[in-house]
Amino acid sequence: GHIVRNWKVRWFVLLQDKLLYYKIEGGKKEPSPKGRILLDGCTITCPCLEYENRPLLIKLKTKTNTDYFLECCSREERDSWALDITGAIHAGHPVQVQELHRMKNSFKLLENISLHHIVERMCDSSTGIKLTRNLEQGNRYKATFTGSALVDWLISNSFAVSRFEAVTLASMLMEENFIKPVGARSTEATRYSDLSEQFLDDSTALYMFAESSKKNISSKEELQFNISELSGTIVKQGFLVKQGHKRKNWKVRRFVLRADPAFLHYYDPTKEENRPVGGFSLRGCLVSALEDNGVPAGVKGNVQGNLFKIITKNDIRYYIQASSKAERAQWIEAIKPLT
């Protein structure tokens, strides 16, 4: 409410240029609207984290600087309303609407992302993620946050565009031991080796900061790269999921494809220094897509699909997952001419 700052149930109807809301009496909405929100010039914030105990908010600011806070019943409903309201705000710009729908389920993490920077922001006492006591199956856990709260925080702080991106980013934080699961719900999910299933976007799954949020890299783990192989022209770059050679687990890596000389390097997004953690010459390599029906020999874990394989001239095999068949095809087409 604008006068009395209480929360009331209203029936909302979204039109092309306005959002109407009605009072409900006896389980039915009244015939005339109680009020309206003009969408022309509106800005929308979702998720809105201004109320700590209300995580399902949408905030609308009109062009006259009036703030409306709308609370939904579930995250799915909130995100659906937010997408449709945003579409109505930009109704005169169909290209923007198409881009919004594309971004909803896209996989495009920020380039040069630093997990160290994200964790520093998460730990900020004023703007970081709120740590609370949580109860699960009779056990109390201090200084924890839920999976869905972290996803909301990553989106609201512009580290991710969609919930899919935010879950992938949160999985990277957990994989690199910046955060860890606590309690049965989240710990159970870690039995999956597939990256997309380890972190839960769920209000009952609990997580906390790991004791050591920074890893020390021993000199044995540092790889030396010839300056010449890093001097080639960048042809393509982006995030892919790669299977490790020793532990056979899957980790997100930023891949950079270079020509003249032709090399494919991959970088650890958790490391602030801009040096690859691996790479190889593409001369004499074989690259091919792997069918999604059945897991090929040499591949461990729960594979989502969109898998392709690179075999070097020394018979070293790299298994890599793309986010879609189209992205897999783009990488294969870019790599083949350089082999």
Residue 101, pLDDT > 50, answer: yes
Q: Looking at the domain assignment, is residue 1 inside a domain?
A: no
pLDDT reported for residue 219: 34
270 pLDDT higher than 60:
yes
Q: Is 231 a residue whose pLDDT tops 70?
A: yes
Q: How far is Cα 206 from Cα 180, in angstroms, rounded to an integer?
A: 9
Which of 163-167, 224-228, 256-260 shows the lowest mean pLDDT across its residues?
224-228
User: What is the extent of the structural domain holding 54?
Assistant: 10-104
In this predicted model, what pLDDT tens digit does every residue of 73-82 receive, in sequence order?
887 788 888 8
Residues 119, 88: one domain?
no
How many domains does the structure of the chain reveal? 3
| Residues 17-34 pLDDT 10s | 899 999 988 778 899 999
For residue 179, give the 3-state DSSP assignment. strand
The average pLDDT across 301-328 equals: 84
Question: Do the domain assignments include residue 2?
Answer: no
Q: Quick one: CA dihedral 109, 113, 116, 120, positive or negative?
A: negative
CATH of the domain at 142: 1.10.10.10
**Amino acid identity at 98:** Q
| Boundary-marking domain end, from 171, 189, 216 | 216
16/46 same-domain check? yes
CA 75 and chain centroid, separation: 15
User: According to the model, what pLDDT value does residue 114 have?
Assistant: 75
Hey, what are 25's tokens?
């009496």
In angstroms, the CA 273 to CA 4 distance is: 52
The answer to whether residue 20 sits within a structural domain is yes
Residue 110 located in a structural domain? no
Q: Averaged over 278-288, what is the pLDDT?
A: 91
User: Any idea which residue has 């494809």 for tokens?
Assistant: 257
**Mean pLDDT, residues 267-277 taken together:** 78
Judge contact between 289 and 307, C-beta under 8 A.
Answer: yes
Q: Is the peptide bond before 261 cis (omega within 30 degrees of 0)?
A: yes
Residue at 4 is within a domain: no
**41: pLDDT strictly greater than 80:** yes
Beta-bridge partner residues of 172: none
Region 171-179: mean pLDDT is 83
Q: pLDDT over 90 for what percent of the chain?
A: 25
Q: Which pair of tokens denotes residue 16?
A: 């092309």
Question: pLDDT tens, 125-156?
Answer: 888 998 888 887 778 888 899 999 999 999 88
- H helical segments located in 129-175: 147-156, 163-175
- The mean pLDDT of the chain is 81
- Judge whether 172 lies within some domain: yes
The verdict on 234 and 328 lying in the same domain is yes
Q: Indicate if 119 and 198 belong to the same structural domain.
A: yes
Least confident of 161-170, 220-229, 275-284, 299-308: 220-229
